[in-house]
Every structure is written in structure tokens, then in C-alpha cells.
């Protein structure tokens, strides 16, 4: 009997040891007074195809450096000053990434952000978050699919991938697709994003239809590559 109890205890303790390795809690944990430096690059590629003529392509990119200063933590939200020498604004961000307040910004300037799940997140599981975005006076349904791909317990890094689907409507003459996919490397020990890369791809086609006749006119393709890298931490 005693032997059975011992085996059961051992089994339970083994589960307790193994379980944290299979799940992780992803949450921001900014240190008060610390400064986090980032570099954000956006590369824009676009192309258009018309009948007969050669496809037109263009590319452009822009990089900015910015600093996140942690002012404090209040009412379950980090008080962060985000910006650089040109402009700084304050945001109140909860540990799961929700912007709880942004006094200097209006609705249009606040990013359409994803939210980390509360509680433990099992490695390999995908969490579906249904939300909506307001653009050109319409509410467009958006689904975030977040997956915790792997956790490197030695480097203390978690890899999160995400895919986004937009409920955009097509009509008789214009069809489009918008897709987002990306990867976030989260520093578990610091409680901040270490690196993130994501891409948005937009494809659209315009055609002309009259009775039973249809003619392709133009195809548009736009791709935006984003890259966010942490360049330093000052405490």
C-alpha cells in the first residue's frame, strides 16, 4: 500500500516537472525604469500587371529606431513611454498586450494588435481569437490564429507564429485576398519581444463583365515585410 502511494507521488511529481516544459505563460513583464531599444523596418513591394505591357514593380523601405521607457505598473497595466527624439507617446499596456489606454492617440493611430492568451499556453496549440477592425466605416471580421511553436528553455525564448484572416468581400468586378503571417520570438526571462518578423500579402484582380463576356483588366500585388528587433536593454 505504502509502495503504491510512493509510486503515485512520484508519478504526480513527474507530471508537475514535465508539465511546465510543455506549456508557457506569455506575458509582458517590463521592469520599472528600464529602457528597451528597438529597430523597426518596413519594406514595401508592389506590382501591377496590365494586358500586353510588362509588369510594373516598385519597392521602398523605411527604418525607425524607438525606445520603450517603463514608467511604472498601475491597475494591471504597464505605463510605457514609446517613441524617439521626434515624438513620444504614452500607452497603458496590460501584461497580455491589450492597450488599455493611449491618451495622446486616436482610434486610427492605435495599432490593431494581437493579444497573448491568459494563463498557460501549451506548446503546439493554436489559439483562435475572433475580433474585428473598423476601416472605411465598416466593421471587418478578423481572426488571429496564434500558435506557440516552441520554447527554448536554455535561451529562455518562446517562438510564436501567427496567421490572420480578413473577412473582406469581393464583388463582380474586384476580387481580393489579404493574408498576414509572422513569427514573434518572445524573451521569457525579460518578459519582452526579442524579435518579430511578419509579412502582409495583398492580391487583387479587376475584371470587366458585360453579359456573358468578361475581360481581365489589371492585377495588383502588394507585399509588406515588417521586422522588429530589440537592440538593447538599459536598466
Partner 1 sequence: MKKGLIILFFSLICSISYSQETANFDITTPFKIWLLNNEAKAMSELGRDETLINKSSTPISLLPRMDFDYKKAEEELWGIHRNIYSFLNEIQKIYDLAKRFGNGKLAVTLKQARPEIWGYSAISIQGFRLPKTIINSTRTAFFNSLFITIGLDMKRDKDLSARLKSAIRSLKDEEYRLTKEYISAFKALYPSERTIVQLEQFLDQGTKKQFATGLSEIINSAKLMVPEFTTTNKTVISTSDNEVDEDDPLSELESLSDSKGEEESKPVEQMEAPDPESSNIYDIF
Compose the 7-26 pattern: x for residues touching partner 1 by CB under 8 A, - for all others: --------------------
Q: Confirm or reject binding of residue 181 to partner 1 (CB under 8 A).
A: no
With beta carbons less than 8 A apart as the criterion, state whether 36 and 67 touch: yes
Cα–Cα distance, 214 to 204 (Å, whole number): 16
For partner 1, the binding residue among 56, 122, 139, 155 (CB under 8 A) is 56
Q: How many residues sit close enough to partner 1 to count as binding (CB under 8 A)?
A: 74
- CA distances, 87 to each of 98, 129, 133, 235 (Å): 22, 32, 26, 22
Rounded to the nearest whole angstrom, what is the least distance from the CB of residue 19 to partner 1 in the complex?
A: 29
**C-alpha R_g of the chain:** 23
Q: How far is 191 from 68, CA to CA, in rounded Å?
A: 13
Binders in 113-152 for partner 1, by CB under 8 A: 113-114, 133, 135-136, 140, 142, 144
List 123, 127, 159, 168, residue binding partner 1 (CB under 8 A)? 168
User: Considering the complex, what minimum distance in angstroms separates the CB of residue 23 from partner 1?
Assistant: 22
Q: How far is the CB of 47 from partner 1 (least distance, A)?
A: 5
Residue 186 binds partner 1, judged by CB under 8 A: no
Nearest to 223 by CA among 50, 57, 51: 57
Q: In this complex, which beta carbon is closest to partner 1, that of residue 80 or of residue 151? A: 80
Residue 208 CA from chain centroid, whole number? 37
Measured CA to CA, the distance from residue 26 to residue 116 in angstroms comes to 6
Residue 22 vs 181, nearer CB to partner 1: 181
- Binds partner 1 by CB under 8 A, chosen from 23, 34, 71, 82: 82
Site for partner 1 in 205-224 (CB under 8 A): 206, 208, 210, 213, 215, 217-218, 220, 222, 224
Given the complex with partner 1, which of 23 and 81 has the nearer CB atom? 81
Which listed residue (75, 87, 128, 154) binds partner 1 by CB under 8 A? 87
Question: Is residue 97 a contact residue for partner 1 (CB under 8 A)?
Answer: yes
Considering only the stretches 1-9, 12-20, 44-52, 117-125, report the one whose residues sit in contact with partner 1 under the rule CB under 8 A: 44-52
Taking the C-alpha atoms of residue 20 and residue 133, their distance in angstroms, rounded to an integer, is 35
Question: Which residues 6+ apart lie within 8 Å of 12 measured at CB?
Answer: none
CA distances from 170 to 46, 47, 80, 177, 205 (A): 21, 20, 40, 9, 10
Amino acid at each position: 500500500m505504502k509502495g503504491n502511494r510512493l509510486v503515485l507521488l512520484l508519478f504526480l511529481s513527474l507530471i508537475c516537472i514535465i508539465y511546465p516544459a510543455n506549456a508557457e505563460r506569455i506575458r509582458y513583464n517590463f521592469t520599472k525604469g528600464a529602457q528597451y531599444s528597438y529597430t523597426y523596418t518596413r519594406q514595401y513591394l508592389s506590382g501591377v500587371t496590365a494586358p500586353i505591357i510588362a509588369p510594373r514593380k516598385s519597392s521602398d523601405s523605411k527604418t525607425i529606431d524607438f525606445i520603450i521607457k517603463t514608467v511604472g505598473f498601475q491597475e494591471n497595466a504597464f505605463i510605457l513611454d514609446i517613441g524617439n527624439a521626434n515624438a513620444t507617446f504614452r500607452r497603458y499596456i496590460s501584461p497580455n498586450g491589450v492597450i488599455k489606454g493611449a491618451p495622446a492617440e486616436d482610434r486610427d493611430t492605435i495599432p490593431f494588435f494581437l493579444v497573448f492568451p491568459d494563463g498557460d499556453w501549451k506548446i503546439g496549440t493554436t489559439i483562435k481569437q475572433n475580433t474585428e477592425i473598423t476601416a472605411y466605416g465598416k466593421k471587418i471580421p478578423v481572426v488571429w490564429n496564434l500558435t506557440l511553436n516552441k520554447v527554448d528553455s536554455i535561451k529562455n525564448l518562446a517562438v510564436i507564429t501567427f496567421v490572420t484572416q480578413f473577412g473582406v468581400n469581393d464583388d463582380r468586378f474586384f476580387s481580393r485576398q489579404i493574408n498576414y503571417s509572422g513569427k514573434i520570438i518572445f524573451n521569457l526571462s525579460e518578459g519582452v519581444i526579442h524579435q518579430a518578423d511578419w509579412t502582409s500579402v495583398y492580391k487583387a484582380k479587376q475584371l470587366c463583365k458585360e453579359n456573358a463576356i468578361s475581360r481581365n483588366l489589371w492585377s495588383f500585388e502588394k507585399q509588406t515585410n515588417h521586422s522588429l528587433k530589440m537592440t538593447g536593454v538599459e536598466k
